[in-house]
Structures are given as structure tokens and as C-alpha cells.
């Protein structure tokens, strides 16, 4: 189970020594000129939409019909998950709040644990279940195990959720995080707060695209075992940890059932704390690619498919970022998934648009969600970097599950 002695010791300590205070941010005014028009809100007031030419809306039945048809016609690829695939290691989390550098640990799929200089600890899109499905015995099953358990994570101050799909938002995981770290604060896109409240979790802030919040974390008792108490922002000490958390656009969709598609918002996120700034892409597409012959390269210069303009706006208005966590997997066949899932070539363009100085690939290596081979995303990422005249390593990388990189 990868349960480390340090992790077990951390679980016996108080879940948090810090109180989280969330207030409005001055960055809330930094948005595109069209940002106040709320074009991503559905006109009937029920739900949300992607307001760009780069988006193509396909219904769940359309996608399922196409996938079944490809299998019946022998066109579908069945990815081989026979080990070895991606190595899995026990993470080396810091057992204190001291780190001079930004540390990022991949926990599989889109889940990253980030340790900021100054002490803030953030967990992105945590899902620790075996299946990412509403039904425990059906749906995609892990082909790589979790590198740790929630008990092994010594501090969780903030959990950031990109959207409500089951491979990004898990009820059992969220409940366990709240039980182990009672002072944790959740951030989610607009419309998702009710889900948390219904789960008995009230430390949650929901935001719309381009909205930001300031977070202050106040130590309640040095080394103590008492529960943290939320303090008034005016009473926060000058030494309180602080962060700016921003909800930003991405090109995706939401749903947890067949009847609630696009009723809650999806988002990417920025977090700035301790002099470091991270952009979390969550789950996003970049372009909409029509059905092409398998031999065709959809980035051939003869094609000019519209791409999502939001990422360049993010880079211009909120960048640059020290680190980008950018999706690179779950993209084949392209005519079905390009609108909602970036492939490695899209990911490199997103990296450039958002002005990330470094990046790590996410949204691969855990569940088979689409048809590409399980090790294809990192292989194609190197090809994509070559095409852009960028180094194959050291700028936009991938790592083993459980591995920590410093920035």
C-alpha cells in the first residue's frame, strides 16, 4: 500500500495547524474586455457552454455510438495495460512546512500535490478510488496503483477541483480528505458548491471564470494538537501564509449523470503563493478536429482548425507561470475527443499560450479512457516539443507516479 513510516506518523498529528480565511482579491478586475459578458453562461440561465469556434458539442450517446461502431468495425485500438507501464513510487512528502523551492508530486492522472515556499500545501483533482465511475464494480479500473493513501499526506490546506467528472471529483476521496484534514478548504467552479454541501462539507468556495480569491492561513498554536479556528482577516498576523487563487477558462464539459450535462462549470486554475505561481489545466481541449484518415496529421499546415483563444488570454493577463500542469492524454479518436481533451501537440501550444516556464504532463497513466496506447502521450510529447524547436526534456516533462520535481 506504500504506507510509509513518516506518513503514518503524520496521520497521527493534527490534520491542520492553520485556519483558512478566504477574501475577495484585487485581481478580480484583471480579465479580458469580454470577461464581463459571461458568454459561457447558457442563455436560458441553466448551465454553461464553451463560447468558441474551437468547441464541438457531441452528446454522450453520440460518443458511445461512435466508440461501439469502431469496435464492431475493427477500427478501435485496445490499449495494452500489461505491466510494466508507468513506474509507481512512494512519495517523499515534506513532514514540515519549510521548503525554499516549489515542489510538485504526481499522484496519478490529473492529481498533483504541490508544496509552495512559505508553507501552503495544495492538492489538485484527487481521486484515490480503483474505478472512476459512479458504480464501484463498473467503469475504468486503474492499471497503475495509487502511490500513497490520504493518510500519508501530512498537510492539505486547499483542494482544487477542475470539474465534476468522476476521474477528477470523487465522493469517497473528498470525504476522507475532510475527515483527515478538517480545516481543508475546497475550491470548485461555479455550480459545484451544492454537491459539497450535500456531502456535509461547508468549507468550499465556488468561482466563475476570471474570479479570484485571497487565502490566508494562520497558525493557531505552534506544534499544537488543537483544532484550527477560522480568524477574522483583520486579525491575521503579518506572518500568515497567503495565496491568490484564480478560476480561469478551459475548454471542456461537465456531468455526473445523463441528465446534468453542463449544468456546473469546468475550469483551469492559478495559484500564487510564496513567490511561485502555478497554472493547473485540469482537463481541457484546444481545437475541434473533424474525422480524418488515420494517416493524416491534423497539424499539417494544410489544415487550419480554430483553437481556443482563452489560453493566450490567460498567459497575457495572469502569466507567466513558474509551473504548468497540462493534460496530455485521453485524446483518440481525435474526431470524438479533440474538443475536450488536448493531445501532446495541443498541450505544447497551450504551454506556450499560457506562458508557463516549465510544465508537467497530467491526465494520463492511470485509467484507460480512450484508444491511444498508455505510453503514447509521453512519446508524442517529445515529438511535439521537437516540432516546436524545444528541448525534449527539462522544459515540458513527464515523471513517474509518486515522483517529486522541484522548481
Q: Is 185 annotated as a binding residue?
A: no
Q: Each residue of 228-267: b (16+ CB within 10 Å) or e?
A: beebeeeebeeebbbbbbbbbbbbbbbbbeeeeebbbbbb
User: CA-to-CA distance for 222 and 169, rounded, in angstroms?
Assistant: 33
Q: If residue 401 lies in a helix (H) or strand (E), which one and from where to where?
A: none
- By DSSP bridging, strand 404-406 and strand 241-248 are unpaired
CA angle at 212 for the pair 119 and 396, rounded to the nearest 5°: 65
Q: Is 163 annotated as a binding residue?
A: no
* CA dihedral sign of residues 313, 318, 320, 322: negative
CA 22 to chain centre: 21
Residue labelled with grid coordinates 481533451? 341
User: CA-to-CA distance for 365 and 65, rounded, in angstroms?
Assistant: 25
User: CA-to-CA distance for 219 and 304, rounded, in angstroms?
Assistant: 53
> Residue 392 half-sphere exposure, CB side, CA atoms within 13 Å?
6
Q: Could you list the residues known to form a binding site, using ranges.
A: 166, 341
Amino acid at each position: 500500500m506504500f504506507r510509509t513510516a513518516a506518513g503514518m506518523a503524520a496521520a497521527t498529528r493534527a490534520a491542520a495547524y492553520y485556519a483558512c480565511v478566504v477574501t475577495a482579491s484585487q485581481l478580480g478586475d484583471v480579465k479580458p474586455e469580454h470577461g464581463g459578458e459571461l458568454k459561457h453562461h447558457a442563455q436560458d440561465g441553466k448551465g454553461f457552454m464553451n463560447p468558441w469556434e474551437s468547441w464541438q458539442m457531441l452528446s454522450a450517446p453520440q460518443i458511445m455510438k461512435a466508440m461501439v461502431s469502431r469496435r464492431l468495425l475493427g477500427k478501435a485500438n485496445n490499449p495494452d495495460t500489461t505491466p510494466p507501464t508507468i513506474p509507481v513510487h512512494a512519495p517523499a512528502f515534506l513532514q514540515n512546512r519549510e521548503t525554499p523551492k516549489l515542489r510538485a508530486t504526481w499522484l496519478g492522472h490529473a492529481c498533483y500535490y504541490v508544496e509552495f515556499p512559505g508553507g501552503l500545501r495544495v492538492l489538485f483533482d484527487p481521486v484515490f478510488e480503483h474505478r472512476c465511475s459512479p458504480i464501484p464494480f463498473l467503469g475504468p479500473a486503474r492499471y497503475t496503483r495509487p502511490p500513497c493513501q490520504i493518510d500519508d499526506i501530512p498537510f492539505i490546506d486547499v483542494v482544487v477541483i477542475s470539474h465534476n467528472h468522476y476521474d477528477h471529483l470523487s465522493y469517497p476521496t473528498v470525504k476522507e480528505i475532510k475527515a483527515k484534514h478538517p480545516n481543508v478548504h475546497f475550491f470548485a467552479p461555479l455550480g459545484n458548491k451544492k454537491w459539497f454541501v450535500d456531502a456535509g462539507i461547508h468549507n468550499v468556495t465556488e468561482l466563475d471564470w476570471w474570479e479570484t480569491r485571497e487565502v490566508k492561513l494562520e497558525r493557531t498554536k505552534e506544534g499544537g494538537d488543537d483544532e484550527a479556528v477560522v480568524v477574522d482577516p483583520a486579525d491575521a498576523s503579518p506572518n500568515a501564509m497567503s495565496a491568490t487563487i484564480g478560476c480561469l477558462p478551459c475548454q471542456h464539459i461537465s456531468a455526473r449523470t445523463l441528465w446534468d450535462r453542463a449544468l456546473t462549470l469546468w475550469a483551469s486554475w492559478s495559484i500564487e503563493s510564496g513567490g511561485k505561481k502555478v497554472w493547473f489545466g485540469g482537463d481541457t481541449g484546444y481545437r475541434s478536429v473533424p474525422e480524418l484518415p488515420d494517416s493524416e496529421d491534423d497539424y499539417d499546415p494544410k489544415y487550419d482548425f480554430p483553437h481556443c483563444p482563452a489560453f493566450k488570454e490567460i498567459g497575457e493577463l495572469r502569466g507567466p507561470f513558474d509551473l504548468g500542469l497540462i493534460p496530455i492524454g485521453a485524446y483518440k479518436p481525435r474526431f470524438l475527443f479533440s474538443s475536450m481533451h488536448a493531445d501532446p501537440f495541443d498541450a505544447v501550444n497551450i504551454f506556450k499560450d499560457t506562458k508557463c516556464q516549465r510544465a508537467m504532463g497530467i491526465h494520463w497513466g492511470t485509467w484507460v479512457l480512450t484508444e491511444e496506447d498508455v505510453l503514447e502521450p509521453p512519446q508524442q510529447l517529445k515529438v511535439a516539443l521537437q516540432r516546436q524547436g524545444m528541448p525534449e526534456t527539462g522544459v515540458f516533462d513527464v515523471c513517474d507516479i509518486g515522483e517529486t520535481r522541484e522548481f
